[in-house]
Amino acid sequence: MEEGWLWYGPSDPVTLAHIRQAGATTLSTALFHVPAGEVWPMEAILERQQVVEEAGLTWTVVESVPVHEVIKRGRPVDKVAEYTMNYCETVRRLALAGLAILSYSFMPLFDWVRTDLALAWRDGSLALGLDMDKLRMWDIHVLAREGARDDYTPEQVARAAALMEELGEEGMGEVTSTILQGLHGQREYTVEEVREEVREWEGIGPANLRANLQTFTRELVEVAEEGALHLSLHPDDPPWGLLGLPTAASTLHDYQQLFEALPSPRNGMTFCMGSKATVMGSLASSPTNHVVDMARRLAIRVRFVHLRNVVRLEQGGLVESGHLEGEADLPGVVGVMVAEVLRRRESGVEGPKLPMRSDHGHHILGDPLATLPGHSLVGRLRGLAEIRGVQAALLHTLHQTPH
């Protein structure tokens, strides 16, 4: 697999020089300043590409072009058509620029959700976490979503009330700030805006959301097939519904349905091994997902790989562990992906090489560049080094080169 890195652009405290020194050769980035629903300017795409190439790196993955909530909800119909047309035009421009992969998400409202940005890990480093007791507390007592209590057991409701008293106003404010901040290019909401957005989702269930995903992806596939760009759907993070909202891509079945409906080889997925779905990143967060099995079954469709790990919490949440310390079999997944790379090479399959990146590193060694949650320099460097070692060992046994 190609060693990659997520870069937030010129304002990212982790520079392109840092990334190159970390050993990465390929980059995933995006025009994070362009709001969802707007067409990306071609000159801005080419400018970003030039900056990356002048640093000695390759912009391989667009991560990501945010999908407007109207498209996900499928209403109002006129706005769905407008925003879909704009999105397709952006994809067309990305393909014209020669970009290989678009990784996108269809998760309602958020790109990923956490309640804690600095949980103490066993070695003293700081990790991201999703405490479902805190999320339920926030849903019931801060968001005050209609019907929220009915979605939880009496025990969970009681724990949420007790936690509210324990945290107090300051602690509740920290949880709110963490949930609402704009992460990974998603928009930043206020509590009232989330409340209003959640109301807009009334009457839209999982089947509706997945049907909207298929309709949207069908349009994207047509555009992708005009050029050489591959689509790569990221799983929901976490891979279960939050705030009464449905999920689009959380299980093996979800992806199989999408690929059966749209069998084009341009229609692929981002295999994210750390959000808590099986033991597959986003997928490893859920105890119903068996990540290595999912990797084997879906490998032919994988266009981009996120490698991280998690430890599941008793109350249903997760803590992001060290890359080799969690409950998911990271070496097993790397082994599947290495085998897939070799299969593609030997069969002469056309398309991009398989890029991967270490995802969500810990804040360690007092790293002054760990200002973006989960996207520290040193923590991700450690993760990349560990993954590089796993891949090198696997390839050594096969007497193969890494790429």
201 lies in some domain:
no
Residues 6+ apart with CB under 8 A from 30: 9, 62, 63, 64, 65, 185
263 phi, psi to nearest 5 deg: -75, 0
DSSP secondary structure of 91-138: HHHHHHTT--EEEEE--SS-S---SEEEEEPTTS-EEEEE-HHHHHHI
Domain that holds residue 345: 2-127+206-398
Place of tokens 């990784």: 103
DSSP secondary structure of 202-219: TT--HHHHHHHHHHHHHH
- pLDDT, tens digit (0-9, with 9 covering 90-100), for 20-59: 999 999 999 999 999 999 999 999 999 999 999 999 999 9
Helix axes 206-224, 252-261, angle to 10 degrees: 50
Distances (CA, A) of 143 to 174, 186, 189, 190, 271: 14, 19, 12, 10, 32
- pLDDT, tens digit (0-9, with 9 covering 90-100), for 112-134: 899 999 999 999 999 999 999 99
pLDDT at 276: 44
Judged against a pLDDT cut of 80, whether residue 285 lies above it is answered with: no
Judged against a pLDDT cut of 60, whether residue 227 lies above it is answered with: yes
184 lies in some domain:
no
- Quote the mean pLDDT of the chain: 92
Judged against a pLDDT cut of 80, whether residue 295 lies above it is answered with: yes
pLDDT at 27: 97
pLDDT at 188: 75
145 lies in some domain:
no
141 lies in some domain:
no
Judged against a pLDDT cut of 90, whether residue 385 lies above it is answered with: yes
CA distance 94 to 269: 18
186 lies in some domain:
no
How far is residue 120 CA from its own chain's centroid?
23
Q: How many domains does the chain have?
A: 1
287 lies in some domain:
yes
Paired tokens of 147: 């019907």
- In this structure, are residues 303 and 230 in contact, taking their beta carbons and an 8 Å threshold? yes
Helix, strand, coil percentages (3-state) for the chain, rounded to 5, are: 45, 15, 40
- pLDDT, tens digit (0-9, with 9 covering 90-100), for 315-355: 889 999 999 999 889 999 999 999 999 999 998 876 678 99
Cβ neighbours of 104 (radius 10 Å): 22
How far is residue 168 CA from its own chain's centroid?
31
Specify the pairing of strand 318-320 against strand 310-312: antiparallel
248 lies in some domain:
yes
pLDDT at 403: 60
pLDDT at 314: 86
Work out the end-to-end distance of the chain between its first and last CA atoms, rounded to an integer number of angstroms: 6
134 lies in some domain:
no
Place of tokens 């490893």: 284
CATH number at residue 92: 3.20.20.150
257 membership: H or E segment, kind and range: helix 252-261
